[in-house]
Amino acid sequence: MSDLPRKAVTRTAKLAALPLGFAGRATLGLGKRIGGRPAEVVASELQQRTAEQLFKTLGQLKGGAMKFGQALSVFEAALPEEVAGPYRAALTKLQDAAPPMPARTVHDVLAKRLGERWREMFEEFEDKPAAAASIGQVHRAVWHDGREVAVKVQYPGAGEALLSDLSQLGRVARLFGPLIPGMDIKPLITELRDRVSEELDYELEAAAQHAHAAEFADDPDVVVPAVVYQADQVLVTEWLGGVPLAEVIADGSQEQRDRAGQLLARFLFAGPARTGLLHADPHPGNFRLLVDDGPADGWRLGVLDFGTVDRLPEGLPLPIGASLRLALDGDAESVHSMLRQEGFVKPSIQLNPDAVLDYLRPIIEPARVEEFTFGRGWMRNQAARVADPRSPAYQLGKQLNLPPSYLLIHRVTLSTIGVLCQLDATVRLRDELLDWLPGFAEEDEYETA
């Protein structure tokens, strides 16, 4: 793969072929079962092959296809273990790697955006990319003042590719349902599509990253690289080392897992409170654990990629913390009233407040205890509970509504929990909620209707 496939017809053909491949394997599996092979063995084989084809295609296409794969990858922990094994390797590959853009194309973009004498801006520039993402790739370089920098270069035609991919994926969204039990894939694709224009705008990304870098400068827990230079389709930031979170997930020590998990939870809640912005792309490829910072309790979390943010000038909405506190107190009536007032329960829907509280109790357990161990088993149980049509949780969940203003917050929270479960991290989540989540620590001025 030498360049980003930009022709819509080529990309659409590759994505359109996915359903045919799925159907072909289903037919093959039926034949094997008729031939006497155990159903669970056949199912495992088919799931493995399906995962390999799906994520190979998404990774090759980059663009919206790869962005969808990255968003999906954080939910790997929700899969049953017999399914998760085959998926895990294919999913992880998407988080930090993709076929690179050739040096010639990179040089053309830099010459067009930085000027023909762009090389004079750098003491060194590595043609081989250090990392690749959904709409661009990163090159390691040395700025003219001697600073090590990361040069993010956007793929030519990335915008067109993103929109084309996500439109096509939206048409076949139902086929991805079995990947993540209990999750409706189509709204995820729609929400990703709505964010395309922001992510393509490196000026907006530079502003968001600068706000975080300034706020977290000299912070003992979080590191955000400073912005060095920004131009259309090019963003230069200070280089950030450390251990990629994907490596911590794969073979990190328990000490590394717990520290990374604690800091990830801290950043999720502290970020909006301190900057008025929510980092909205929390997949492992965007985080580093800086393990050279002395003892374990001094390790810091490096945060990358601010292309997608949610603007929350007042921090996370007060009703989130208030309703969580009330739910932990067992106040079913107040929780139900608050959810109705915020639009989670539509006026035409009648729900039993105690049933709503029963639905929420297992989900909010990490906020009840002093520390909680997030793991794949816990997340699989939650996913199975809301995905089983026979369960009360499934029936109640179908009647709840997700207001548009909460959509991105909901996805980021779920994604972060997915990463915590991949880490198998023991986290003092309640401490972070008390410190940073409005309405959780004590009663605030929030009246329920």
Q: For 25-79, how does the pLDDT look when each residue is reduced to its tens digit (9 = 90+)?
A: 444 333 443 444 444 444 455 555 665 666 566 655 555 555 666 666 555 555 6
Cβ-in-10-Å burial (0-12, 13-18, 19+) of 81 comes to exposed
Task: Say how many CA atoms lie within 13 Å of 138 toward its Cβ.
Answer: 20
Which pLDDT does position 174 carry in this prediction? Answer: 63
Distance CA 428, CA 369 (A): 8
Average pLDDT over the chain reads: 81
- Contact (CB, 8 A) for 186 and 192: no
Which pLDDT does position 176 carry in this prediction? Answer: 61
Tokens of residue 58, six digits? 């998404």
Unique residue bearing structure tokens 């000038």: 313
182-196, 253-267, 367-381: least confidently modelled range: 182-196
Tell me the range of 12-16, 115-119, 159-163 where mean pLDDT is highest.
115-119
Which pLDDT does position 24 carry in this prediction? Answer: 43
10-19, 115-124, 324-333, 389-398: least confidently modelled range: 10-19
Under the banding of pLDDT at 50, 70 and 90, the label for residue 243 is very high
Sign of CA dihedral 234, 15, 417, 316: positive
- Three-class SS of 379-408: HHHHHHHHHCCCCHHHHHHCCCCCCHHHHH
- The answer, yes or no, to whether residue 11 has pLDDT greater than 70, is no
Which pLDDT does position 5 carry in this prediction? Answer: 47
Percent of the chain scoring above 90 in pLDDT? 53
- For the stretch 403-431, pLDDT in tens is 878 888 988 998 899 999 999 999 999 99
Which pLDDT does position 252 carry in this prediction? Answer: 96
Task: Say how many CA atoms lie within 13 Å of 20 toward its Cβ.
Answer: 5
Q: Where are the domains of the chain?
A: 318-436
Which pLDDT does position 70 carry in this prediction? Answer: 60
Cβ-in-10-Å burial (0-12, 13-18, 19+) of 440 comes to buried
Distance CA 122, CA 70 (A): 31
- For the stretch 202-237, pLDDT in tens is 999 999 999 999 999 999 999 999 999 999 999 999
Which pLDDT does position 32 carry in this prediction? Answer: 40
Angle at 323 between CA 319 and CA 324, to 5 degrees: 115
End-to-end CA distance of the chain: 57
- Contact (CB, 8 A) for 164 and 132: no
What Rg, from alpha-carbon coordinates, does the chain have?
23
